[in-house]
Amino acid sequence: SLSIGIVGLPNVGKSTLFNALTKNNVLAANYPFATIEPNIGVVGLPDPRLNKLAEIHSSEKIVPAPVSFLDIAGLVRGASKGQGRGNAFLANIRDASAICQVVRAFSDPNVVHVDGKVSPADDIETINTELILADLQTLEKAVPRLEKEAKLKKDRAPLAAAAKAAAELLNTGTTLYAGAEKAGIDVAELRELHLLTTKPFLYVFNVDEEELANEAYLDELRAMVAPAEAIFMDAQVESELIDLPEEEARELLESIGQHEPGLHQLIRVGFRTLGLQTYLTAGPKEARAWTIPIGATAPEAAGVIHSDFQRGFIKAEVVAYDDLVEAGSHAAAKAAGKVRIEGKEYVMQDGDVVEFRFNV
């Protein structure tokens, strides 16, 4: 399943953030997800469209698209050389589809920084270095083996070449996510090696609340990680939000110049970073969001509900969310000619409200 692994140096606010994410009352109340294991939390993708859909269709419940977060412990400076719990983090991080680094940018002198000073750029480099070293260890073993294989079997040659080029890139201190494309390395070739730095990265900067409105400072941090996405929040404020009634939470956010919890942004950006989107279904039972890759066709989208739907796909009845809301009901949208019949080739759009027709 799709999951976002949370990494970062000790004392940067990872646990604070993870707890806020997975114990978020606003989410938990509406969203039937919970913490599965101590280090895995599943949260719903915040999507106000579902509330509106449920209203239109008098749906009994709302089921948002799930996003999992993995709390990945033990990735510290020197982990690749056996520091801390050594490479124990590898087992967890391999399962993550994307890596989210929490970076300390808050100043609180009462919270010790492992390296003695708050320096977002240094922290990012430290974590990158550990991930790069882990990949280099994998490649050191793999390259000689793959080169031998390539001599015997031609079809192994592209992988052997890609692995060698990947090692060269990593040796310059660049992750594969940041540099593979520019270096002409096809990361799809490298899939069987399960390299860590091919995963999409995103960054949460844990900043002091008064910095949340300091655009010049945020731009500086943003530039540090571009083209990866950056999200800014005060993890401590986020953790206070989770215990507040909705109205008070909103007031607290507004008092620090924010329109929505940073957690919501994180879930949304994480989702986008994974190249995903949602389509919607609605009826008296539930209003629900389903996860599909951007570019998925109608039968592929049907297959997310049930493989039988994909196999027996006939057609899809599709109405764009905005058109449905404007019309006020499914029947009115139909009368206005806004409900389209789409076939096998149709490429799904985010927010399509769909009913599939299929043979069983």
Contact 289, 65 (CB under 8 A): yes
In DSSP terms, 290 is beta-bridged to: 279
Burial of residue 6 (CB within 10 Å: 0-12, 13-18, 19+) is buried
Q: Which stretch binds ligand GDP (CB under 6 A): 13-21, 53-61, 134-142, 352-360?
A: 13-21
Instruction: Identify the helix (H) or strand (E) that includes residue 251.
Output: helix 246-255
Kindly state the smallest distance separating residue 93's Cβ from ligand GDP, in Å: 16
**Contact string 80-109 vs ligand GDP (x = CB under 6 A):** --------------------------x-x-
Alpha carbon distance 116, 124 (integer Å)? 15
**Contact string 219-258 vs ligand GDP (x = CB under 6 A):** ---------------xxx----------------------
**Range 124-183, binding ligand GDP (CB under 6 A):** none
**Range 191-220, binding ligand GDP (CB under 6 A):** 206
Q: How many CB atoms lie within 10 A of CB 141?
A: 10
Kindly state the smallest distance separating residue 230's Cβ from ligand GDP, in Å: 16
Q: Is 14 a known ligand-binding residue? A: yes
Closest CA to 21 of 258, 190, 255, 235: 235
8 vs 200, which CB is nearer to ligand GDP?
A: 8
240 vs 286, which CB is nearer to ligand GDP?
A: 240
16 vs 137, which CB is nearer to ligand GDP?
A: 16
Asked if residue 158 has a cis previous peptide bond (ω within 30° of 0), the answer is no
In DSSP terms, 183 is beta-bridged to: none
Q: Contact positions toward ligand GDP, by CB under 6 A?
A: 8, 10-16, 106, 108, 111, 206, 234-236
